[in-house]
C-alpha cells in the first residue's frame, strides 16, 4: 500500500481506479466506493497500454492494482478509507451509520 503525489491531473476530487479483470481487491474497493456514493472512472490496464505504463510508473515498476488516482495523488492498493478521505466521501462512521439505517429498514418490513 502506498501514496505518491502525481504531477497533474483533472479536478481535485476526481477519482480514477485502475483495475484488471479477475482482481478480487479491485472488486472489493469498487464495491466500497459505490456503496459510499463515490463516483469514479474505471480503467482496465489490460486494455489500455498507457494506463498500464502509468500504473507501473507509480507502483515501482509493477502493475499493482487497484491503483487509484484522486486529484493529484496516486495510491497503490489503498484501503477504501484512504480513497474516501481524499475524495471527500463518507468516512467509516458515516458508512456504518448508512449500513445500520438500511439494516433497520429491512427489519421493519
Question: Which are the contacts of 78, defined by CB distance < 8 A and separation ≥ 6?
Answer: 1, 3, 29, 66, 68
Query: Per residue of the chain (109 residues), what is the pLDDT tens digit?
Result: 444 444 444 455 689 999 999 999 999 999 999 998 888 999 999 999 999 999 999 999 999 999 999 988 899 999 999 999 888 854 455 555 666 666 677 776 6
* CATH topology for the 2-108 domain: Glutaredoxin (3.40.30)
What number of helices (H) and strands (E) belong to the chain? Answer: 4, 5
Amino acid at each position: 500500500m502506498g501514496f505518491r503525489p502525481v504531477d497533474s491531473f483533472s479536478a481535485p476530487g476526481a477519482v480514477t481506479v485502475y483495475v484488471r479483470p479477475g482482481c478480487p481487491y479491485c472488486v472489493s474497493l469498487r464495491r466500497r466506493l459505490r456503496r459510499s456514493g463515490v463516483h469514479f472512472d474505471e480503467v482496465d490496464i489490460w486494455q489500455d497500454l498507457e494506463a498500464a505504463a502509468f500504473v507501473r510508473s507509480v507502483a515501482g515498476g509493477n502493475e499493482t492494482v487497484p491503483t487509484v488516482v484522486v486529484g493529484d495523488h496516486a495510491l497503490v492498493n489503498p484501503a477504501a478509507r484512504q480513497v474516501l478521505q481524499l475524495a471527500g466521501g463518507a468516512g467509516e462512521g458515516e458508512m456504518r451509520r448508512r449500513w445500520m439505517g438500511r439494516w433497520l429498514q429491512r427489519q421493519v418490513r
